[in-house]
């Protein structure tokens, strides 16, 4: 089993040599000054607090992923333009919580060719998510992935479903959050969780089954894995199930289209 990925503050990055790191900072200039060349083990730089000046990052660390945390997508979405130039040299992703009114942030991120990571939690903004899902599935000018939709779709398309815990970097087995004081914590959404992080997800899933949660008979258990039942097991999954159904149907349709295309005269496969 590979070692976990650590999300560490910039000040502590040097304490994790040889580890796969997501280095978070609100000060790009300090990052570049401290690490003129990013170590090969770094997976990503996570920008928090929407720093104004990102020019130091534009030509630094070519190819290193950058994750922009958009904590208030409704108020701050237009500020994403200040990061537009990063895409020249970095894969860029915007991580944002699912709240009412996030569609503008998602549209803008997608139009800037940023990938999007929706952090759904236990969402109430289902209609908004449905609109974003439609954007992801059908708008030709949305070239980058919108997760979790993208990974779930691909997983079903290729018959290799991936759990949301992994897609959303929240499985403590694979992802550890290091606080400013150096303490290792569960990923932020799992604040309040306890026990061995290595088997948190398994224990959670077992608990849901044992307590008779609707997960028992859920058609999407292979992907959800009880994700939407944390922290409140009584969360009504009807809305997110509908989204899963749409994704499943899209995967089936895509698989069927691909199979039909492969046998169509004139296709690249028909040679």
Partner 1 sequence: MTGNHFSLILLSTNRCNADCDYCFENKTRDRLTLEQLDVIVDKVLTYMEEQGIASLTLHWQGGEAMLLSPDWYAQAHERIGTAAAARGKTVSHGLQSNMLLYGPQWKELIAGMFGNTVSTSVDYPNRHRRLRHRSPDSYNGIWSEKVAMARADGIDVKAISVLNQGTLEIGAERFYHHLVDELGVTDFQVNTPFPGGEANAAKDGLPLPVDELARFHCELADIWLERGYREGVRVGPFDELLNVFTHRDACLPCIWGQNCADEIVSIDARGYVGQCDCWVTSYPEYYFGNIFESTSFGELLGNSRPRRDFYERPVRLMEQDCIRCEFLSICHGGCPVRTYTVHKTLFEKDPYCGLYKSLFAHMRDAATRLLRPQPSGIELV
Q: Name the packing angle between helices 149-157 and 238-262 (round to 10°).
A: 50
CB of 59 to partner 1, least distance (A): 4
- According to the binding rule CB under 8 A, does residue 79 interact with partner 1? yes
CB of 213 to partner 1, least distance (A): 39
**Is residue 69 within 8 Å of 47, Cβ to Cβ?**
yes
Residue among 125, 160, 129 nearest 147 (CA): 129
- According to the binding rule CB under 8 A, does residue 256 interact with partner 1? no
Q: Name the packing angle between helices 126-138 and 103-111 (round to 10°).
A: 20
Whether residue 144 is preceded by a cis peptide bond, meaning omega within 30 degrees of 0, is: no
- According to the binding rule CB under 8 A, does residue 34 interact with partner 1? no
**Residue from the set 143, 188, 195, 231 that interacts with partner 1 by CB under 8 A:** 143
CB of 237 to partner 1, least distance (A): 30
Which C-beta is closer to partner 1: that of 116 or that of 168? 116
Which C-beta is closer to partner 1: that of 103 or that of 147? 103
Which C-beta is closer to partner 1: that of 18 or that of 266? 266
Query: Contact letters (x/-) for partner 1, 84-113, by CB under 8 A?
Result: xx-xxxx-------------x--xx-xxxx
CB of 35 to partner 1, least distance (A): 14
- According to the binding rule CB under 8 A, does residue 78 interact with partner 1? yes
CB of 271 to partner 1, least distance (A): 10
Residue among 147, 167, 165 nearest 243 (CA): 147
Residue among 5, 4, 12 nearest 179 (CA): 12
Distances (CA, A) of 220 to 91, 156, 245: 30, 11, 8
Which C-beta is closer to partner 1: that of 41 or that of 131? 131
Distance (Å, whole) CA 218 – CA 206: 14
CB of 151 to partner 1, least distance (A): 20
Tokens encoding 269: 């496969």
In degrees rounded to 5, what are phi and psi of residue 159?
60, 30
CB of 54 to partner 1, least distance (A): 11
End-to-end CA distance of the chain: 42
Stretch that binds partner 1, among 42-50, 54-62, 197-205, 230-238 (CB under 8 A): 54-62
Which C-beta is closer to partner 1: that of 49 or that of 195? 49
The residues with which 5 forms a beta bridge, in sequence order, are 20, 175
For tokens 């349709």, name the residue.
253
**Residue from the set 30, 48, 58, 99 that interacts with partner 1 by CB under 8 A:** 58
Distance (Å, whole) CA 259 – CA 99: 38
Which residues are near partner 1 by CB under 8 A? 55, 58-60, 62-63, 77-79, 81-82, 84-85, 87-90, 104, 107-108, 110-113, 139-143, 261, 264-267, 270
């Amino acid at each position: 089993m590979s070692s976990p990925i650590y999300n560490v503050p910039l000040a502590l990055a040097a304490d994790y040599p040889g580890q796969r790191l997501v280095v978070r900072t609100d000060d790009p200039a300090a990052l570049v000054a401290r690490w003129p060349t990013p170590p090969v083990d770094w997976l990503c730089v996570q920008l928090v607090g929407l720093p104004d000046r990102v020019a130091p990052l534009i030509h630094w660390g070519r190819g290193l992923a950058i994750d922009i945390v958009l904590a208030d997508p409704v108020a701050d979405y237009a500020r994403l333009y200040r990061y537009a130039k990063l895409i020249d040299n970095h894969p860029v992703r915007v991580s944002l919580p699912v709240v009412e009114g996030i569609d503008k942030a998602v549209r803008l991120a997608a139009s800037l060719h940023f990938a999007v990571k929706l952090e759904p939690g236990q969402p109430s903004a289902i209609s908004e998510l449905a609109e974003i899902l439609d954007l992801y599935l059908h708008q030709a000018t949305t070239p980058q992935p919108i997760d979790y939709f993208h990974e779930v779709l691909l997983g079903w398309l290729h018959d290799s479903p991936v759990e949301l815990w992994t897609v959303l970097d929240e499985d403590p087995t694979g992802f550890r959050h290091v606080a400013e004081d150096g303490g290792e914590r569960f990923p932020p959404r799992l604040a309040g969780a306890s026990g061995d992080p290595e088997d948190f997800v398994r224990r959670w899933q077992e608990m849901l089954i044992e307590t008779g949660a609707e997960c028992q008979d859920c058609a999407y258990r292979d992907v959800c894995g009880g994700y939407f039942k944390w922290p409140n097991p009584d969360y009504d999954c009807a809305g997110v199930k509908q989204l899963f159904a749409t994704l499943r149907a899209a995967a089936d349709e895509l698989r069927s289209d691909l199979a039909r295309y492969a046998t169509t005269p004139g296709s690249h496969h028909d040679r």
